[in-house]
């Protein structure tokens, strides 16, 4: 599905005239930044298995489910074959360590611009949702003081297919009661932009995805999203 393109300043090309009812946000890299916790917890598991692990490998895990992430980590594994049960144990160990680190998060870790942007979007009558592959989305939102900011949360506990499959975004739209074509999705990963596009949503890229020029719009900061939404509605 084609959409009007938007620049980093939120400028809409001629022909943009459709309205949107909801915004669906990825969590990690958009609402908050937990990459360092993911990195540390995966590295601790990799180190115990004597597997080389660095930022390059870690970047491949963005937006990927826990078990799929483990498979990527294990690509460099040299040793006796690991049973399904052992792999499940390793994934659980990673998550346990990750959650301990997340426990140190507080509302002070939230970029003030995120809360301001969410408040502005809600004041315009837009519904807000989270569409994340993380199984810890609700926990993270509570730690950040955003437990009641979203009308719906679709996460890794509700889906069987990770991005770039559109399942999580379609589910978020279903939870909101909004047609996917009337949703805007905000993502920082190429796989997430692909998923949003496959869901028929208007895609807004930020972070790594924006730097690669993917999506219907690219943002330099989350604050620019309010300008994009205003121009889409004009």
Active-site residues: which are they?
26, 28
Return all residues near 176 (Cβ < 8 A) that are at least 6 apart. Answer: 21, 22, 24, 127, 129, 151, 152, 183
**Could you tell me which residues come within 8 angstroms of residue 15 by beta carbon, excluding any fewer than 6 positions away?**
4
Q: Which helix (DSSP H) or strand (DSSP E) does residue 102 occupy?
A: helix 84-102
Give the residue from 48, 54, 57, 90 showing the smallest Cα distance to 75. 57
Q: What is the distance of C-alpha 3 from the center of its chain?
A: 21
Q: How far apart are CA 81 and CA 96, in angstroms?
A: 23
Given the structure tokens 């499940």, which residue do they identify? Answer: 88
Alpha carbon distance 148, 145 (integer Å): 8
Tell me the two tokens of residue 92. 């659980």
């Amino acid at each position: 599905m084609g959409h009007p393109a938007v620049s980093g300043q939120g400028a809409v090309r001629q022909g943009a005239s459709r309205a949107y009812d909801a915004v669906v946000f990825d969590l990690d890299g958009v609402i908050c930044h937990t990459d360092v916790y993911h990195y540390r917890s995966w590295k601790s598991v990799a180190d115990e298995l004597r597997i080389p692990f660095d930022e390059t490998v870690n970047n491949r895990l963005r937006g990927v489910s826990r078990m799929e992430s483990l498979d990527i980590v294990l690509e460099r594994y040299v040793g006796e074959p690991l049973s399904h049960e052992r792999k499940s144990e390793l994934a659980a160990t990673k998550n346990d360590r990750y959650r301990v680190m997340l426990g140190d998060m507080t509302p002070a870790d939230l970029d003030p611009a995120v809360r301001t942007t969410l408040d502005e979007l809600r004041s315009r009558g837009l519904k807000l949702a989270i569409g994340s592959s993380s199984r810890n989305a609700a926990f993270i939102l509570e730690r950040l003081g955003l437990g009641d900011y979203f009308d719906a949360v679709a996460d890794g506990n509700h889906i069987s297919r990770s991005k770039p499959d559109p399942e999580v975004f379609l589910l978020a739209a279903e939870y909101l009661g909004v047609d996917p074509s009337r949703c805007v999705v905000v993502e920082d990963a190429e796989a997430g932009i692909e998923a949003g596009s496959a869901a028929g949503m208007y895609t807004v890229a930020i972070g790594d995805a924006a730097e690669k020029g993917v999506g219907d719009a690219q943002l330099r900061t989350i604050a620019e999203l309010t300008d994009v939404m205003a121009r889409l509605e004009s």
